[in-house]
Structure 1
Amino acid sequence: MTVGRQNPGPRNINRRRGKSPLKIVAITSICLAVAALLALGGYLFYLMATLPKVDRLADYKPPIVSQVFGDDGSLVGEFYLERRTVVPVEKLPRRLVQAFVSAEDSNFYQHKGLDYVGIVRAAVKNLISLRKKEGASTITQQVAKSMLLTPEKSYTRKLKEAVLAKRMEERLSKDDILYIYLNQIYLGAGSYGVQVAAETYFGKNVEQLNLAEMAMLAGLPKAPNAYSPIKHLDRARERQAYVLERMVKEGYVTQAEADHARATPIVIQSMKKVNSEQSAYFLEHIRIALEDRYGEEQLYKEGLRIYTTMNAEMQKAAYEAVVNGLKNVDKRQGFRGATAYLAEAAVAAVCDKVEDGIDTVSLKQGATYQGVVTAVDPVRGDVTVRVGDRTGTLSRKNMAWAGKVQLVNAWGKQEVKGKFLSLGSVILVSVVTPDADKKGAVFALDQEPEAQAAVVALDPLSGAVKAMVGGYDFRKSQFNRALQAKRNPGSAFKPLIYAAALDKGITPATIFDDSPVEYESGKEKAWKPKNYDNIYRGNVTMREALTNSINVVSVKILEQIGVDYAIEYAKKLGITSPLSANLTLALGSSSLTPLELTSAYAVFASGGYRTTPYFVTRVEDAEGRTLEETAPPVIPRFSVMTSAESSPLEASPAPPATAGDSASTAVPVIAPETAYIMTNLMESVVQSGTGQRARAVGRPVAGKTGTTNDMKDAWFVGYIPQLVAGVWVGYDQERSLGAGGSGGQAAAPIWTEFMRRAVAGIPSRDFETPPNVTFATINPRTGRLAREGSDGAVQECFIAGTEPTAYDGESSEDGVP
């Protein structure tokens, strides 16, 4: 019998492997779910542990504006990261609160941080529309996001926001949350919080708003720029209507009140304050100094109150004088043509950019805008110019300064020789007559100057800087030419040489020979100083030499008193820049800043005292505690110091100008007699010399022009007893100012325009004569005493004891003075 292996039958493979696939999947899923829950729990635990504390919101202290005030207490500027003024909760109008609640969170007073009904409603609407049409964030959530979280868009942030909102509702009252929200929220146009928004859009404090204005503000949070009343008043009104409708539905106002609010005219106007553009250089100078002293945190976030020496009206006058003066200088050089030539299709895009900066009501008279030529009438000589969404006419008469300009009735740049305007020409125009209904304006052709200018004005008795402009446009160049540009002053330096000569015994009647002279210079050619007008007058007095700015005589005076002596004397007057140790110093060959030279002239105006220029008088913190203060110096009417007692070699150097010092100083550096005689000499410059344009100020004025070689720099520095000001004009990259570029033609008109406006409220005063100054009648051709009735005799002033003693034809032991 054969024995073989038995057949075991079918094998159960699944049983041998132990478990079915279904069970394996189930177990794995459970494990993964448990792991996910543990991970989520861990994450939530970590998230909760790392959330910021909401307790600090109970002591809400947002970044607030540091305010800058002028010498009369008026607001002249602000420093901030976020422009915000906090309003106490008791000053928030009830209906303003209701307007925001109606628009942003109608269930605010019912929910505990999260509006579940609102979440469901928003979800349904968004699902139906297949896009995010409505949000569901409560006011509490918005505060949480704004104050405690970053603005990132993520599920993590939304989760944090929800948890924090719940916690806030547990620790803060509803009023506390609204107080934070209404002071924190961004409402467009650089405005944070309802107070600044009320100022920006309606020129009011928040408690002065009417219902129409409140509703318009409450419509802004959804999209501040899209619903801006300044840019899009029609959209803002649509949003206002929505807010009023919500207020009616919530029972906050009646339908009649809402209808009345809709019909109420909206007047867009900002609260009046000094234009930051016109005071930008002044504010930037003190900002840099204060940031260095107090740090960014305190300056930009803690609401400092900064009191300055700026006089708002003088600052405005200085800015406008620079703008007008530079335009006049530039126009004398001719029209440079359009800045660009556009194809017809490109006009709309360019004009849309301009539109954002235009007032909703009308173009501003006197303002300058960029425009595009859209129509040309070669026969009448007129062109139509589009400025933003406005149009106006530029006539041949209003472009006369540009000379003969060809008008081309075709688009884009044409192959035309000479000056021309074609369709699509991009030009600057100033508004002669504002528009009505966005059309019908009258324009004049304008042009942005290429030259620059600086103005600085200060009180000679204290050193307080009353106005400062450092250039044509701060937005395009922050370089402050009043403080930082070192340029040759030309003949404007001569008064410093003449003052030194007075203390060396030279008098206004001293005779000098105005004839050509030659000096060895150590080079192949000798140096031959020339007079500006190439005229040589023979014997002239010191007064005539300064009045007519005679170069040769100025060099001879410097040669007589000594270069080293003159340099030390200039340092005594406040000059800190290095000075050329040669005779070219008499012609202003050494570079100075406008503030340096103006401060030196202030010594003459103050009766011989050198003061330290300063810009800040006091700084207070938000609680009113004084952090620093500068007391102005007290200067006596006349010092007892005489010329003999003042030694330039012993004088200390002038301290530099600062943004604010603990004490301002006034140091007597020259005798009052010397200061007065220099003033008297410079009055002649204004009355009959190179500075005659300054006579238009209509009161006693002393001053001096300055023009450098090839008219690269033009200066005028002058003063009345209460105010001294200096003006410089030139190109940053040195080149000739061209026709009309002398100090008398380019700088003096700016000085005069500024001074006429600046001193309008200041009583007219004569320069006071010190007791030790005497007057005598002299013959200006000889410098000797003139007998009564002599032809050409003039009154001259002298320090007592230095006047001539001999008449013409008589001998004198001392010789001719």
Structure 2
Amino acid sequence: MALYNGRQNPASRNINRRQGKSPLKIFLVTASIIGGIGLLALAGYLFFLYNSLPRVDRLADYKPPIVSQVFGDDGSLVGEFYLERRIVVPVDKIPRQLIQAFVAAEDANFYQHKGLDYVGILRAAVKNLLSLSKKEGASTITQQVAKSMLLTPEKKFSRKFKEAILAKRMEERLSKDEILYIYLNQIYLGAGSYGVQVAAETYFGKNVDQLNLAEMAMLAGLPKAPNYYSPIKHLDRAKERQAYVLDRMVKEGYITQAEAEHARAMPIVIKSMKTVNSDQSAYFLEHIRIQLEEKYGMDKLYKEGLRIYTTMDGAMQKAAYEAVVTGLKNVDKRQGFRGPLRYLAETEVDDFCRKVEDGIDTASLKEGSTYQGVVTAVNPAKGEATVRVGDRTGILSRKNMAWAGKLQLVNSWGKQEGKGKFLPLGSVVLVSVITPDVNKAGAVLALDQEPEAQAAVVSIDPRTGAVRAMVGGYDFHKSQFNRAIQARRNPGSAFKPLIYAAALDKGLTPATIFDDSPVEYDSGQEKAWRPKNYDNIYRGNVTMREALTNSINVVSVKILEQIGVDYAIDYAKKLGITSPLAANLTLALGSSSLTPLELTSAYAVFASGGYRTTPYFITKVEDSDGKVLEETAPPVIPVMTNNSSATVVDGDGATAPAQAPAPAAGSERGPAAVPVISPETAYIITNLMESVVTSGTGQRARALGRPVAGKTGTTNDMKDAWFIGYVPQLVTGVWVGYDQERSLGAGGSGGQAAAPIWTEFMKQAVARLPVKNFTAPSDITFATIDPQTGKLARDGAPGAIVEGFAAGTEPKSYDSDAPAADDAQ
């Protein structure tokens, strides 16, 4: 560049001017080019978004995922399958005030804007700028629907563009009511509730059209933060948010100030309409869920609102679950207290309790429920401890932990060393609630302990095969293994009735005499096999009835030896046993593993009068339009009624009419009911098992106060405990044991561990059923016999009993070879 007297040469300035290279012009040109490129890029991006976004046309035919409902045999709701718990209701069924409450709280300009609320956006931007944080959002209801229905939940700036475009499209194609219909059925409102109908049921136990203004305002306050404002967990926060919604409704002119004040003063009653207890029916529901998913696929089951009708009796299912929980705790407590779950330092208590509180979804501790608590104070003199459960406290007195033995309450933190059992500060223990807390304090608690043993219960209607209740373990959430249908365990003496029934069909009778004395068999090994009686008592000559009543092992083996192992195996298969069976004499003692469902179903043959039915769980499946997809018609089994053709042989050999039932005329069987043994055999084995209950190993079942037949089972070292029993209308099997086989310890026999669970369940299960006797078919003959000899006994003979026989198998002679006086005449 040329200089002239220290300044730029004028000629050079003229040259630059002519070439148009002013710095300002260069900046402007460059900025224009960059801006143009940016605008083109933005336009291209928006064009791309506009054409790549999902279509909103399908929203006009809104069909969200809806709940598939499961019903019991009485039509009551017993379970649900869903991805999102939602029940869709038309907009005209939603109260207008509820709609207004949501609009006032979430999008006051909803009826004025066209998808985007520009005034709201500006207001939110100013507030957020002034607070230097995101205090307020500006999404309209239309944008929320777009995000929920058509977009992913990603938090990116680009999603806001997508929301805006889709919101505009929706406003062009849908009416305001159509948008509200989608929004109010789609929105998540906490506690697993999607849509206003399910939320109304969950929080207030009502249908949406039954809500009052106070409840409507509380629901409308939930979208902002459903868990934070949950009326179940945080009623105080929920009422604060309710007040905000009511004020907004007043401001928007939807209600008057007086109406708002009245609603604010109304008491809120939290009461769930939801009658489904997923814990008590989990194993039953999981079993049918697997079947349905395999048959119909996941989408149909979880999204299309199937109506599934089952054989479950809701009351029986509840009773089975409660009996298992109570029974296993009793079994476990007999083994003693295993000590605190863990020990906390004082500084760890608050964090631990906050986590516990997050899992409590009720306003107060629920009576009968079990929680983890921390010992925060002890009073050794009074023998009580203060236990903190979440943000609530309760008292654990000496009498409510007496089962644990002599626990030493220690007023110091951490695990204690030394002999004895200690309960120091910081001990985390399981407690059950005897009396709930008031204002989060003063609950009465009892020391509890989660059982290590497991149990299974399955209950079947023997006339149809319908499974009325099934529990597969103590806690489905911790173990989905269904022990009722998946666990194969040795049944022990519970298998004996199958052997005895086979013997009856081989010509043996309840009066057949066997020698109960020690015996040994060649085992093919160095030592011979010597079956032993459970009580190590040998009784000499006994009848078959006495042998089963007292569960005599030696006699059972001798019976199997007499009828043949192969015959017994074939007989068991005829009763429905499908598991492999040991082809040796140990089969008589229940050495082959079976499932509880399998063995209970075999007993059902006896209870039904000789008919084998296939256990089933589902009676009908309908789609959301009511179209039947499948249906199972239960079989019909003949009903026994009184029949005067049966006979009784009296003490002197004369015959007389007996009040014995027979099949009802005109009855017929369904295709699933197959006669596999004679009615006479079914009746006699039932009658033998009645003796097990009245005077044998199953006497705990006498508490039912009605005719009961059943059999206990206990395996070596008490690794498995069983009780299978029935009344004419219901047969139930119970198994108790550890998953990893080991002894149940003291009180672990079938009569002590399984029979109490069976009895507790059956008390509830049969409460609504009429008391019935086991009725004898027409070809049963009753005779007075001497149980010492198995022969006929004369009237007045000491110890004589009346025994039932299949006609023609009753004894023909008396104890003495000499003819009776009446016979000589």
Q: TM-score range, shorter-chain basis? A: over 0.9
Kept in 2: contact 1:456–1:598 (CA 8 A): yes
Alignment of 1:192-591 (within 5 A): 192-358=194-360, 360-591=362-593
Q: Name the SS of the counterpart of 1:279 in structure 2.
A: helix
Q: Which residue of 1 aligns with 2:786?
A: 779
The alignment status of 1:595 with 2:600, answered yes or no, reads no
**1:135 CA displacement:** 1.0
Q: 1:74 aligns with which of 73, 76, 99?
A: 76
SS at match of 2:209: helix
Cα shift readout 1:340-391 (whole Å, capped 9, x = no counterpart): 1111111122222222343554322222221111111112211111122222
Aligned equivalents of 2:781, 2:317: Cα separation in 1: 38
Identity %: 80
| 1:611–1:664 Cα contact (<8 Å) kept | no
What is the number of residues matched between the two proteins?
A: 782
Q: Distance in 2 between matches of 1:170 and 1:429?
A: 59
Whole-angstrom CA distance in 2 between matches of 1:18 and 1:563: 116
**Equivalent of residue 692 in structure 1, options 699, 709, 724:** 699
Paired with 2:27 and 2:377, the residues of 1 have a C-alpha distance of 80
Please point out which of 665, 680, 703 is paired with 1:673. 680
Where do residues 565-714 of structure 1 align in structure 2 (5 Å cutoff)?
565-637=567-639, 665-714=672-721
Write the letter of the residue equivalent to 2:339: G
In structure 1, distance between residues paired with 2:29 and 2:125 = 35
Question: Retained in 2: the 8 A contact 1:318–1:467?
Answer: yes
Single out whichever of 165-174 and 307-316 deviates more from structure 2: 165-174
Say whether residues 1:801 and 2:813 are aligned partners. no
Change in Cα spacing, 1:12 to 1:717, as seen in structure 2 (3 Å) is: same
Match of 1:58 in 2: 60
1:111-122 equivalent positions in 2, closer than 5 A: 111-122=113-124
Structure 1 stretch displaced more, 426-435 or 698-707: 426-435
| Mapped contact 2:232–2:363 kept (Cα < 8 A) | no
What CA distance in whole angstroms lies between the structure 2 residues aligned with 1:272 and 1:134? 34
Residues 40, 362 of structure 1: alpha-carbon distance in 2 compared, 3 angstrom cutoff: closer
The 3-state SS of whatever aligns with 2:258 is: helix
Query: Which residue of structure 1 lines up, in the alignment, with residue 96 of structure 2?
Result: 94
The AA in structure 1 aligned to 2:751 is: G
What is the rounded CA distance, in whole Å, between the counterparts of 1:456 and 1:332 in structure 2? 25
2:459 alignment partner AA: A
- Asked if 2 retains the 8 angstrom alpha-carbon contact of 1:198 and 1:209, the reply is yes
Comparing 425-434 with 733-742, greater Cα deviation is found at 425-434
The one-letter code of the counterpart of 1:725 is: T
1:611-648 deviation digits (Å, cap 9, x = unpaired) = 000000000000000000000001123699xxxxxxxx
Q: Deviations over 1:69-119 (max 9, x none)?
A: 000000001000000011111111010000000000111111111111111
Q: How does 1:19-38 map to 2 (within 5 A)?
A: 20=21, 22=23, 23-38=25-40
1:650 maps to what in 2?
Answer: none
Tell me how far 1:397 sits from its aligned partner: 1.3
Consecutive unaligned residues of structure 2, counting only runs of 5 or more, are: 1-8, 644-669, 820-825
Is the 1:630–1:664 Cα contact (8 Å) retained in structure 2?
no
**Alpha-carbon separation, structure 1, partners of 2:276 and 2:116:** 44
Name the CA distance, whole Å, in 2 between partners of 1:393 and 1:261: 38
Q: Structure 1 residue 664: deviation in Å? A: 6.3
Structure 1 position 29, deviation (Å): 3.4
Report the Cα distance in structure 1 between the residues aligned to 2:583 and 2:304, rounded to whole angstroms: 50
Secondary structure at 1:690 match in 2 = coil
The residue identity in structure 2 corresponding to 1:762 is: L
**Unaligned ranges ≥5, structure 1:** 1-8, 641-662, 813-817
Contact 2:68 2:82 in 1 (8 A): yes
d(CA) in 2 for partners of 1:479 and 1:13? 93
TM-score, normalization: structure 2? 0.93
Cα deviations across residues 93-152 of structure 1 (Å, max 9, x unaligned)?
A: 010000000000111111111111111111111111111111111111111111111111
RMSD: 1.8
Matched letter for residue 521 of structure 2: Y
AA at the equivalent of 2:135 = K
1:727-766 residue pairs with structure 2 within 5 A? 727-766=734-773
CA contact (8 A) 1:612 1:664 kept: no
Shift of 1:437: 2.3
Q: Following TM superposition, by how much is the alpha carbon of 1:46 offset from its aligned partner in structure 2, in angstroms? A: 1.5
Q: Are residues 101 and 380 of structure 1, via their aligned partners in 2, closer, same or farther at CA, if it must alter by over 3 Å?
A: same
- Matched to 1:368, the amino acid is T
Query: Normalising by the residue count of structure 1, what TM-score does the alignment of the two structures yield?
Result: 0.94
- Is 1:274–1:312's contact at 8 Å kept on the other side of the alignment? no
Q: Secondary structure at the match of 2:180?
A: helix
Say which SS state the counterpart of residue 613 (structure 1) adopts.
coil
Q: Residues 40 and 14 from structure 1, CA distance in 2 versus in 1: closer, same or farther, beyond 3 angstroms?
A: farther
Give the Cα–Cα distance (whole angstroms) in 1 for the partners of residues 380 and 722 of structure 2. 42
- On the 8 A contact 1:342/1:425 being kept in 2, the answer is yes
Output aligned runs, 1:714-729, within 5 Å. Answer: 714-729=721-736
Q: 1:473, 1:157 → 2: CA distance?
A: 43
Whether contact under 8 Å (1:490, 1:706) holds in the other structure is yes
Are the structure 2 counterparts of residues 664 and 113 from structure 1 closer, same or farther at C-alpha, using a change threshold of 3 Å?
Answer: farther
* Partner SS, residue 460 of structure 1: coil
Q: Call closer, same or farther: CA 1:570–1:13 in 2, change over 3 Å.
A: farther
Deviations 1:483-505 (A, max 9, x none): 00000000000000000000000
Shift, 1:684, TM fit: 0.3
**Local SS of the residue matching 1:278:** helix
